[in-house]
Amino acid sequence: MKKNRLGQCLKFNLGGTSLFAVLSATGNSANDLVDIINKNRTGQKLPQLSNSPGLGCIALQYAEECMGNCSSNNSVNCHPSEDDFTEIFAPNCGVELPTFGTISGHILGCQPKYLEPLEAFSNVLVHDKRTLSLLRNKTYTEVGVGIIKAHKHKGPYLWCILFSSSQRNTTFVLDDLGEGIKQKKGCYSGTSFPCSRAHRDKEKSSGGTWTLDLTSLGLMQIVMYDDKSILM
């Protein structure tokens, strides 16, 4: 298969329905996950979701709040209160409170070790009918992704996706002309800031074979494409 600077695109079937996953190297795996989410939505003729940096930062805060709740089966049992979002998460990000919108859905997952965006998408985040229905919800307009490592020298890693049905580009606005408050840990979508070095080292493409564990949901990966035919 040919490779180029834009990355690669995989197509696989899930319960008879085609899903797409984009492999890219932006330096920010949270943005890569948003790209994967939107490619799957457009594959189902659904509108793309706006990549909201404010919502992405709140997703990072959500993941950080739940760092101690990764169970042995890689599930996360963590339910921050509504007040946490407006009184802790939003101020920590620099989200202007009058613009705080509606968070309509979330997906939260964890793994002991770091996974590339495609692996995290298929093996941790969108892995059952419930999460697939969230991915394809017609009322959603915006999305934000946060990723964090629980400990400095080891995992687990947590991924959080937040969805909003609020009006596009008018909610979860970051102050300081959209810069917000710089985060010291992890990374989030909607920003050009790269992930921490620990993430970047692991995000370098190996040029090897990707394996998707989709046996619990039906069919496995069946086709690999040169991304130029998909993305351009």
Model confidence pLDDT, tens digit, residues 178-204: 889 989 889 999 998 777 644 544 444
Average pLDDT value over all residues in the chain: 78
pLDDT (0 to 100) of residue 26: 57
Model confidence pLDDT, tens digit, residues 63-87: 999 988 888 777 898 999 999 999 9
CA-nearest of 60, 24, 56, 91 to 191 is 56
Q: How many CB atoms lie within 10 A of CB 82?
A: 8
pLDDT (0 to 100) of residue 196: 60
Distance CA 14, CA 60 (A): 28
Residue 199, helix vs strand vs coil: helix
Lowest-confidence region among 28-42, 184-198, 199-213: 199-213
User: Can you read off the two tokens belonging to residue 16?
Assistant: 């008879």
pLDDT (0 to 100) of residue 184: 87
CA-nearest of 38, 73, 80 to 59 is 80
| Position 207 pLDDT exceeds 70 | no
User: Can you read off the two tokens belonging to residue 92?
Assistant: 């920590």
Distance CA 81, CA 216 (A): 32
Lowest-confidence region among 12-26, 132-146, 163-177: 12-26
Single-letter amino acid code for the residue at 83: D
Q: What are phi and psi of 98, to 5 degrees?
A: -60, -20
Of 197 and 125, more confident: 125
Residue 70, helix vs strand vs coil: strand
| 15: exposed, middle or buried (Cβ count in 10 Å: 0-12, 13-18, 19+) | exposed
Distance CA 38, CA 54 (A): 18
